Structure 1
Amino acid sequence: MARLQLRNLQKSYGDFKAVHGINLEVEDGEFMVLVGPSGCAKSTTLRMIAGLERVTGGEIRIGETLVNDKAPGERGIAMVFQNYALYPHMKVRKNLSFGLRLKRRPADEIEEATRDVSNILEIGDYLERLPKQLSGGQAQRVAVGRALIKKPQVFLFDEPLSNLDAKLRASMRVRITDLHKQLKADGMQSTVVYVTHDQTEAMTMGDRICVMKDGHIMQVADPVTLYNRPANAFVAGFIGSPEMNLVDANLKGNVLSIGAQSHALSDQVMARLDQGHSPELILGVRPQHFSIADADTENTFEGRISHVEFMGHEVYLYVHVEGQQMIVVVSATNYDRSKINGDHVRLQPQPAAMHLFDRKSGENISLGHLQ
């Protein structure tokens, strides 16, 4: 097993700097997810770890070994690509065993390893098929098996589920995370770096998640911490579905104003605020952390409903408050139309779930004693 360390890692293409000196440690046996929007350099970072991109500056260490100048085959890694990258002229059996045959491993060892991996991934029935005879999910399992059979120190996954339909993506998420747990239980190498742009994949699969933007790391934490304690407005808006409501606000004393409407912050919220903050802030509240209040309830925000989506067990309300849109999610069983006056509604945020971000830096100034 091996720990992966990125120290001041940099990548430039001419005058363009894609990765800005990032530092990250992936612990032995950890499932680390790199997530962020397209162009944030998560795949570039993964390709540098794999040895497919040259490092401009900094260090990559696998275990205690500096691997910057080592060829991909010498790094003790195995990679699963977005497009599966199976050899089209080879049957599944040969695709799985190709890496071991290149290393001239004994035939009985190759046969045993192929059988074991086939059993783990439940692809034994496909061994004599060509890749073109496989479904997307079957081909992806073969690609995972080809990585697994090498027994690498670090597994690298580059958006491996993006070509699958929604139902198959969900089942493959479970299969990959279960495989990781099984390998750890069996004492096998299981350090994983997994790249995705899908925050649902990140939240459901990762032990920890590294959120990236424009070649910078914005926050590294477990899924619960990212959701409840976002370090900045970018993380708050990226993690969670629907995304957190982020609206411009101003704070004077304990009075938070959105346009002409004001809301007196509770002592609980005020105690969390950093000292010396700017009055120009961003209010962040997750859609699930609003409730619909009675018409005469004080200390609420009044808005106009522009759209309603019935999602089965939930109802999404799109509400305009002082020219800024908010999304409110309420349980379908608790959706009380009597509290809506025409198309107007009063929204009451949960004090414990209110976040305040500095409008210029984006930093969360309200983490204080937030649990």
Structure 2
Amino acid sequence: MARLQLRNLEKDYGGFKAVHGINLDVADGEFMVLVGPSGCAKSTTLRMIAGLERVTGGEIRIGDSLVNDKAPGERGIAMVFQNYALYPHMKVRKNLSFGLRLKRRPAEEIEQATRDVSNILEIGDYLERLPKQLSGGQAQRVAVGRALIKKPQVFLFDEPLSNLDAKLRASMRVRITDLHKQLKADGLQSTVVYVTHDQTEAMTMGDRICVMKEGRIMQVADPVTLYNRPANAFVAGFIGSPEMNLIDADLSGSTLSIGSQSLALGPAMLERLNPKAASALTFGVRPQHFSLVGAGEDNALEGRVSHVEFMGHEVYLYVNVEGQQMIVVVSATAYDRSKIQGDIVRLQPSQETAHLFDRKTGENVSLADLH
């Protein structure tokens, strides 16, 4: 069993608290991604799990064992680092088998394990090369193989793809997730905790995602839930590309005022709205959830286009609405300049997918079943 549990986990650097009593459960065989901006303590959390940072409060359990005071080598974990951390003087074969040789495993076992791992990761042709003779993608596969060969209870990945170019990152995302699925299908240990600042990696790789900010957990959920039902304005603005538009607004009855303009909230929004919601709110709409409409259409916001980006199949419009910049994404075929009088556009938000957040606390007050 490779379940991971964090209970009231804290990290204090002599007066600066980096991690604020977080709680997280990672199920046996789950691929959990820790994501957040730089400085949110996701890597610090991973290093505490690995035993590379001392825990100053709370508990870490791997399987049935409390591991706070155990050395890294006694925790049943294997870690893949951002910079690969391969031994430069050792050929790939020895880099892969180094952990098993330290444990004085039989030569036949080491050779078979090296062969199995190199076949899984398709690095058999590189076994006699030195790390300096490998490309970035090849070196990263060797680093993954060195973790895999140890058969750990939990795999820990710390920004493993950040040094690769965009095309190679995409292919390595697929390779790592396919490897995880293969391990699960074969009944092998496959619990993964994966740290990244790249929300595309998080959304495409994780079974669940833990969004962090300043040493605190903002939300833990599967990718679809995070995108469609963000618990707060931070998650809404962090998850999604381009990010969700977050616009200051004031609520009076069923009317939402944005500067001098207003929107009438329909049943789709009012039914989801917490009746105790404050009047000072933030209106959240994803860029893809606006429609460009003509002058005769009601319940739309008027703004001035400041910039247009043609992205091929999509067009990004940067629109100033009451002094607040918004991004609107429309398909290239739907981009009709005849609906734009000069640089003025009218934007109709989809209320079925929009959200309202408390401006003070950031809490999503338009998810009725969360209250």
TM-score category (smaller protein): over 0.9
Equivalents in 1 of 2:23, 2:38: separation in Å? 20
Task: Give the CA deviation at 1:268.
Answer: 1.7
**3-state SS of the aligned residue for 2:2?**
coil
Q: Distance in 2 between matches of 1:109 and 1:2?
A: 23
The 3-state SS of whatever aligns with 1:211 is strand
Could you tell me which amino acid in structure 1 is paired with residue 264 of structure 2? A
Give the Cα separation in 1 of the matches to 2:289 and 2:68.
46
CA separation in 1, counterparts of 2:276 and 2:228?
23
Q: Which residue of 1 aligns with 2:139?
A: 139
Moved more, 266-275 or 179-188: 266-275
> Which letter does structure 1 place at the counterpart of 2:114?
T
Distance 2:132 2:179 in 1: 25
1:163 maps onto 2:149 in alignment = no
Paired residue type of 1:223: P
In structure 2, give the amino acid aligned to 1:284. G
**Distance (Å, rounded) in 1 between the aligned partners of 2:206 and 2:267:** 35
Q: Deviations over 1:313-361 (max 9, x none)?
A: 1000000000000000011111111111110000001111110000000
1:369–1:60 distance in 2 versus 1, CA, 3 Å? closer
1:1-371 equivalent positions in 2, closer than 5 A: 1-368=1-368
Q: 1:6 Cα deviation (Å)?
A: 0.1
Aligned AA (2:118): S
How big is the shift at 1:277?
1.6
Tell me how far apart the structure 2 counterparts of residues 40 and 300 of structure 1 sit (CA, whole Å).
37
What is the CA-CA distance between 1:212 and the residue it aligns to? 0.2
Q: State the secondary structure of the residue aligned to 2:82.
A: coil
One-letter amino acid of the counterpart of residue 196, structure 1: T
Give the partner amino acid of 1:365.
Answer: V
Which amino acid counterpart does residue 149 of structure 1 have in structure 2? I
Q: Secondary structure at 2:203's aligned position in 1?
A: helix
Alignment deviations for residues 150-192 of structure 1 (CA, whole Å, 9 cap, x no partner): 0000000000000000000000000000000000000110000
SS in 2 for 1:170: helix
Residue 32 of structure 1 deviates from its aligned partner by 0.0
Three-state SS of the structure 1 residue aligned to 2:105 is coil
Normalization by structure 1: what TM-score?
0.99
Partner deviation per Cα, 1:225-267 (whole Å, 9 max, x = no partner)? 0000000000000000000000100000000011000000002
**For the residues of structure 2 that align with 1:87 and 1:297, how far apart are their CA atoms?**
65
* Structure 1 Cα separation of the partners of residues 268 and 106 of structure 2: 67
AA in 2 matched with 1:213: K
User: Which segment is superposed worse, 273-282 or 208-217?
Assistant: 273-282
Q: Deviations over 1:50-91 (max 9, x none)?
A: 000000000000011000000000000000000000000000
- d(CA) in 2 for partners of 1:274 and 1:105? 61
- Alpha-carbon distance between aligned partners in 2 of 1:252 and 1:274, rounded to the nearest angstrom: 14
Question: Structure 1: which 5+ runs fail to align?
Answer: none
Once residues 336 and 178 of structure 2 are traced to their aligned partners in structure 1, the CA distance between those partners, rounded to angstroms, is 41
CA distance in 1, matches of 2:277, 2:289: 24
Counterpart-to-counterpart distance in 2, 1:72 and 1:354: 46
**Partner SS state of residue 53, structure 1:** coil
Q: Quote the offset at 1:278 in angstroms.
A: 1.1
Distance 2:333 2:135 in 1: 40
Q: Which string of whole-angstrom CA distances, capped at 9 and with x for unpartnered residues, describes residues 76-135 of structure 1?
A: 000000000000000000000000000000000000000000000000000000000000
**Aligned length in residues:** 370
* CA RMSD, Structure 1 to Structure 2 (Å): 0.8
Offset, 1:369: 5.6
Looking at structure 2, the residues matched to 109 and 333 of structure 1 have their Cα atoms a distance apart, in angstroms, of: 60
Q: Deviations over 1:198-222 (max 9, x none)?
A: 0000000000000000000000000
Counterparts of 1:301 and 1:36, CA distance in 2: 32
* Structure 2 counterpart SS, 1:353: coil
* C-alpha separation in 2, matches of 1:140 and 1:300: 50
User: What is the alpha-carbon distance in structure 2 between the residues aligned to residue 64 and residue 336 of structure 1?
Assistant: 61
Structure 1 counterpart of 2:280, which letter? E
Structure 2: stretches of 5+ with no match in the other structure: none
